[in-house]
Amino acid sequence: MAKRKRRSAPSAPVSEPPVRPGLLSPTRPVPPEIGRPPYADSGDPGPSSSSTVRTLDEVARMRRAGNAAAEILVEAGHCVRPGVTTDRIDAVVHEATIARGGYPSPLNYRGYPKSVCTSVNEVICHGIPDSRPLADGDIVNIDVTIFLDGVHGDTSVTFLVGEADDHSRRLVAETRTAMDEGIDAVRPAQPVNAIGRAIERHARKQGLGVVREFIGHGIGTEFHSGLQVKHYFDPRDDTLLVPGMTFTVEPMLTLGHPACALWDDDWTAVTLDGRRTAQFEHTVLVTDDGVDRLTVLPDGTAPADVFA
Ligand code: MF3
Ligand code: CO
Ligand code: CO
């Protein structure tokens, strides 16, 4: 049988014009009665010390944090339209988080200045909300994390702004599918690298790149804990999954080459070639016979499905 040819990405223009940094609004305050994570004042989360496996009580709290994160992401998604600034999305996420009694986990995490990440077009992740209005045809990832009742829930969706071109639509749709294939590879006694294997396989079939510099992570009482979840296959990652583990699956796929660069704000990661990139994220739980998505609405709907 003939060797299958690698399908190359159809040519798409570099995202034009490039995203440039805007102005930041003043720091948004969090009321004193809201429970704060340990880094809220110092900015320093310290070394990770938590177990990779959650207690039943922690899992129950993570379901509520996950539901809240999903609801906040849906609220944010409803205000995506041309002309809305990413700072406005930050205000909506900040208020919606506090309204649920939670702390917006990104705020002052390692000094991050805002309450959500908003990553537009060629921005891979960790875009900082600012005065830039969304433009018709943009794509924007909104990455929400809430700290509620001592645990975090972390989830993101990439939204189309107005009428996006076909390349962008396909990138967004296939990135979501890649995340779902990665999550569907989760079950007890499987190695953690089964996740990246599934994501990478899907990306390759679609001629899309997989960003390697940012990975999924253990999550629970800590925002980012020990377990590392690569979105590509690494044969060395043979840690076996165990019921009660909680972590994120959050692949970033690219239309062009997946190499990245960092803006001089030290947060905003962009593709080196300037072509577009998309991301989706769920926080998941390894169950006795498979996997549960924790960052869904109370009726089980994923935030992305509200907009599909
Ligand atoms: N939510 C991001 C993640 O998926 C982390 C953002 S850290 C921040 O892991 F400081 F940039 F907010
Ligand atoms: Co995450
Ligand atoms: Co996130």
56-306 to CATH, choices 3.90.230.10, 3.30.70.20, 3.60.20.10, 3.60.15.10: 3.90.230.10
Rg of the chain taking only CA atoms, in angstroms:
18
pLDDT, residue 16, reads 78
Give the residue among 51, 67, 65, 15 at the shortest CA–CA distance from 296. Answer: 67
In whole angstroms, how far apart are CA 57 and each of 68, 92, 125, 149, 244? Answer: 17, 30, 31, 11, 11
Q: How far is the CA of 4 from the centre of ligand 3 (A)?
A: 35
Residue pLDDT, tens place only, 54-86: 999 999 999 999 999 999 999 999 999 999 999
Strand ranges across the sheet with 225-229? 225-229, 216-218, 246-249, 282-286, 291-293
Q: Please, what are the averages of pLDDT over each run of 10 residues along the chain (308 residues)?
A: 49 77 98 98 95 97 99 98 98 99 99 99 99 98 99 98 98 98 98 98 98 98 97 98 98 98 98 98 98 98 97
Q: How far is the CA of 154 from the centre of ligand 1 (A)?
A: 8
**Is the whole model's pTM more than 0.75, yes or no?**
yes
pLDDT, residue 8, reads 47
Show me where the domains of the chain are located: 56-306
Q: Which atom of ligand 1 is nearest to the CA of 126?
A: 11
Q: Which atom of ligand 1 is nearest to the CA of 214?
A: 9
Give the residue among 157, 275, 263, 268 at the shortest CA–CA distance from 208. Answer: 275
Q: How far is the CA of 155 from the centre of ligand 2 (A)?
A: 7
Amino acid at 148: L
Q: Look up residue 211 and give its two tokens.
A: 């960003």
Say yes or no: CB of residue 113 within 6 Å of ligand 1: no
- In angstroms, the CA 36 to CA 168 distance is 37
Local structure of residue 24 (DSSP, 8 states): P
**Mutation choice for ligand 1 from 93, 154, 230, CB with most ligand atoms inside 8 A:** 154
Ligand lying nearest the CA atom of residue 219 = 2
